[in-house]
Homo-oligomer: A and B are copies of this chain.
């Protein structure tokens, strides 16, 4: 295979400049804009997330697929258009070639954002809650492709753990089996999205950003497949109590079963149901953790950029 279609990647101006200068960048998904909150909350949150990346010390690069082109660094108008347009499909990594071949438009998930980030040369990505192993996956085998993408894309993933509607214990087992390095930043336990803790102890807590930067770099020097997952909890004042969240999830699972909701529809269904059950408090916590995670992502990307700059280039 010596020939292939040139990839239709377009970099935002600021992203292109940061890449050329070796400045830190944090990639962001657009699926959270189109499939998370209603308009205009989604557009406002996307803007706050970008501001948080900047506050952390990096340039945000929100990623989306627009008329057959991969946009890395959507501008404010792009984001607003995505936020206001209903029906933009969710595009995971395996859907990417199809959507490009069709000249289509779509919102990137964690997995597809990692593919685009790596192609653009961006080494950090941030998302509040990654996908994982679904509750009941022992029989349904329903496991998010995010986890497999972590073993393929050389991008560090900063998150507040996995969405708590998932089975977090099985999610950690999967990451361990597949040799994905897992660090917690400023926490002992693996966080649970908008909850401070999943109740599961994580293998390595590192609070020093420089040590995290060296860990990421060593992972790649060692020939490690894919990326490193860096989980950091929400701010205490934003968090939802774990028992309260768990009770709401249990109840939502009951109604999901009653309503026959399964497969790809389950994530959105559960998140909405839990939000109703908590009187909208989880949606607010969700917005808060998106922002605080993005800020941590910016800080860690900045530390990594400093680390790389200090290295003697290896030819």
Contacts and interface: CB of A to CB of B under 8 A. Distances in A.
Contacts of A212: 101
A119 B179 contact: no
Contact of A222 (B92, B96, B179, B219): B96
Contact of A97 (B93, B97, B142, B215): B215
Given A145-B176, A149-B179, A179-B145, A220 B92 contact: no
A222 B119 contact: yes
Counting chain B CB atoms within 10 Å of each CB, the highest count among A4, A123, A154, A223 belongs to: A4
A5 B142 contact: no
A314 interface: yes
B1 A181 contact: no
B215 A181 contact: no
Copies of this chain, complex-wide, total: 3
A7 interface: yes
B3 A221 contact: no
Interface string A210-240: 0110111111111111001000000000000
Interface string A1-43: 1111111000000000000000000000000000000000000
Interface of A: 1-7, 92-98, 100-102, 111, 115, 118-119, 123, 133, 137-145, 147-149, 152, 154, 170, 173-174, 176-183, 203-204, 206, 211-212, 214-225, 228, 308, 311-314
Q: Shortest 9 CB-CB distances between A and B: which pairs?
A: A97-B218, A101-B214, A97-B219, A101-B215, A141-B173, A143-B177, A94-B181, A4-B221, A94-B179
